[in-house]
Every structure is written in structure tokens, then in C-alpha cells.
């Protein structure tokens, strides 16, 4: 371990990250509670995904707390303990990867449903479909390789040989996937916004805002992670962001689900929405009207 390293840029940074992470976990609990309270008629599959994400996020924060207890309490003041890797770090990383996989896959599924429901030129549909396949393949491959490499890690301090795993598989690939998802959904929704009635216009604008905001939030998180680790790879400063990662993904998806009630009231106070796919956006045409599922 480098002699220039101290407790502030190693365990101190990790502790601050854990505080942010536990705070966001409180928001996760609140949003999960609101979801099950407001949408008891959602499909079992939808409830299953929400429950699974909550369990994985809970496991992630529990393993993180266990790891920090080991380094901060059990091995109090012993910076040499950073040369070892407590067992809970690996399941912590596994839960993190699974959350990102699931949330990104759920967003990609929404894009697929949306693309099939809109009257788009054939070439656009084909481009989007090919893009979805590529994104899924890249994200899945990156996650698998990351988990394989994680099993080889023997120290909490990241060795130079593991840096490419963090930078490329842990930061750059998820960042590009998040940006691709947000950009694609923005394009698909905004392209259908022309000549809509004012109420419909506001609903689509609200959807676009939610989607872009959640995509930007996770992208900014990964970008900050990338910059911190690139600047100081020999420290634990990147854990300031790492402990909040899964919570941001889970809360972004929960926020979109819980926004359905306000969208329903905006669209039609008497309309019932049981799943995100039940939001019906009416597109006006001079010769008639059609409906697209978002």
C-alpha cells in the first residue's frame, strides 16, 4: 500500500459513500411502499420485478454495511487490512450488476413495446430493433466479464491490473447504455408529440422529462465515478459514488412507476392505469385518431 494513502481518502471516503447510500435506501423503501399502496392491481410480473429490485437493493446495502463494519470496526485503525478483501464485497458487486441489468432491461423492453406501437418508418423500426439487440448483448457481456474478474480480486484497493474492469466494464459500458436508452426513448416520444391536444402534449412532455431525467441521473453518476477513479485509482474515493449506484437505478425505475397516477389524472381523471404499459396516449390526426401504448 502506498505510504501517501491515509484514512481520509480510503476508509473515510468509503464511510461517506455508505452514508449517502443508506440515505438513498430510505428513499427506496418509501417508493416501494408507495408503489404497493397505490397500484395493488398491477400484474404479478410487474410486482415481482419491483419486489426483486427491492430485495437486491437491500442485499447490496446490507453487504456494504457488513464490509464497512469489518474495515472500520473489526479492523479499526489498521489500514493494512485494505490489502485483504472481505467476502461481502463480492456479493455486494453481484447485487450491483444484477440491479443494473434488470433496470436497463426493463427500460429496453419499454422501448421495444413503444416502437411496435408507433407508426414509424420501417427503417427506423429496424434500426431501433438492431440497436436494442446490440445494447442487450453488450450490457450482458460486460456484466458477465465484470463478475468473472471480480472473483479474481483479492484486495479492497484496486490493483492496476483490475483498473480496466472498473473503467470500461463498470463505468463506460453502463454509461453508454444509459445514454442510449434515454436518447432512444426521448426520440420516440418526442417524434409523436406534434399536433397533439394540449392535455396529451403535457402528458408526453412529462413522460419525456421523467425518462430523460432518470437517464441523465444515472449517466452523471457513472461519469463522476469514471472521473474519480481515473484521477485517483489507488484510493477508495470512488466508493463515495459506488454505494449509491444501485439505489439510483432502483429509485429511477420506481419513480417512473409511481408517476403513473399523476399522468392518469392529467390524461383523464376517470381513467384507470394498472401498469406502465396501460398509459394510452391519443395521437390526433385529421382523418381520425389512433392510440399508442407507452
Query: What is the DSSP secondary-structure string of 160-194?
Result: GGGHHIIIIIIIIHHHHHHHHHHHHHHHHHHTT-T
Give pLDDT, residue 272.
46
The model's pTM is: 0.82
Give pLDDT, residue 293.
39
Q: For residues 276 and 293, what is the distance between their CA atoms, to the nearest angstrom?
A: 9
Q: For residues 12 and 235, what is the distance between their CA atoms, to the nearest angstrom?
A: 11
pLDDT along the chain (294 residues), means of 10: 69 90 94 92 92 96 94 85 89 92 86 72 77 82 86 84 81 83 76 54 62 73 85 86 88 85 58 46 38 39
Q: For residues 135 and 59, what is the distance between their CA atoms, to the nearest angstrom?
A: 27
DSSP conformational letter for 50: H
Q: Residue 288: left if φ>0, alpha if ψ -120 to 50, beta else—which one? A: left
Length, in residues, of the chain = 294
What residue has cell string 433496470?
103
Contact 280, 293 (CB under 8 A): yes
Give pLDDT, residue 59.
96
Contact 110, 276 (CB under 8 A): yes
Cβ count within 10 A of residue 20: 14
Residues 6 or more apart in contact with residue 192 via CB below 8 angstroms: 118, 204, 281, 283, 292
Give pLDDT, residue 280.
41
Contact 189, 201 (CB under 8 A): no
Contact 38, 261 (CB under 8 A): yes
DSSP conformational letter for 159: P
Nearest to residue 261, comparing CAs of 272, 248, 277, 251?
272
CA–chain centroid gap for 29, Å, is 16
What residue has cell string 485494505?
82
Taken in order of first residue, the domains within the chain and their CATH numbers are 8-293 (1.20.1070)
What residue has cell string 400484474?
43
Cβ count within 10 A of residue 276: 21
Give pLDDT, residue 7.
82
Q: For residues 39 and 45, what is the distance between their CA atoms, to the nearest angstrom?
A: 13
Nearest to residue 50, comparing CAs of 256, 271, 293, 241?
256
Which H helix or E strand runs over 283?
strand 280-285
Amino acid at each position: 500500500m502506498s505510504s501517501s494513502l491515509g484514512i481520509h481518502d480510503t476508509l473515510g471516503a468509503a464511510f461517506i459513500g455508505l452514508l449517502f447510500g443508506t440515505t438513498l435506501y430510505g428513499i427506496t423503501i418509501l417508493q416501494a411502499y408507495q408503489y404497493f399502496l397505490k397500484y395493488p392491481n398491477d400484474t404479478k410480473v410487474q410486482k415481482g420485478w419491483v419486489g426483486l429490485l427491492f430485495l437486491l437493493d437491500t442485499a447490496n446495502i446490507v453487504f456494504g454495511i457488513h464490509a464497512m463494519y469489518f474495515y472500520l470496526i473489526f479492523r479499526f485503525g489498521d489500514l493494512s487490512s485494505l490489502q485483504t478483501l472481505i467476502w461481502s464485497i463480492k456479493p455486494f458487486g453481484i447485487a450491483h450488476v444484477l440491479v443494473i441489468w434488470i433496470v436497463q432491461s426493463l427500460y429496453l423492453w419499454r422501448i421495444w413495446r413503444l416502437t411496435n406501437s408507433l407508426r414509424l418508418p420501417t427503417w427506423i423500426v429496424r434500426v431501433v430493433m438492431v440497436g436494442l439487440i446490440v445494447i442487450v448483448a453488450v450490457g450482458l457481456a460486460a456484466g458477465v466479464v465484470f463478475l468473472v474478474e471480480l472473483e479474481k480480486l483479492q484486495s479492497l484497493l484496486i490493483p492496476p491490473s483490475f483498473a480496466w474492469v472498473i473503467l470500461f466494464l463498470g463505468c463506460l459500458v453502463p454509461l453508454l447504455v444509459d445514454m442510449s436508452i434515454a436518447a432512444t426513448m426521448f426520440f420516440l416520444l418526442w417524434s409523436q408529440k406534434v399536433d397533439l391536444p394540449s392535455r396529451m402534449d403535457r402528458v408526453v412532455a412529462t413522460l419525456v422529462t421523467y425518462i430523460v431525467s432518470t437517464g441523465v441521473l444515472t449517466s452523471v453518476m457513472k461519469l463522476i465515478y469514471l472521473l474519480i477513479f481515473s484521477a485517483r485509482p489507488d484510493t477508495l474515493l470512488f466508493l463515495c459514488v459506488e454505494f449509491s449506484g444501485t439505489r439510483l437505478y432502483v429509485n429511477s425505475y420506481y419513480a417512473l412507476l409511481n408517476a403513473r397516477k399523476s399522468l392518469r389524472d392529467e390524461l383523464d381523471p376517470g381513467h384507470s392505469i394498472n401498469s406502465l404499459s396501460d398509459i394510452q396516449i391519443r395521437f390526433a390526426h385529421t382523418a381520425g385518431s389512433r392510440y399508442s401504448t407507452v
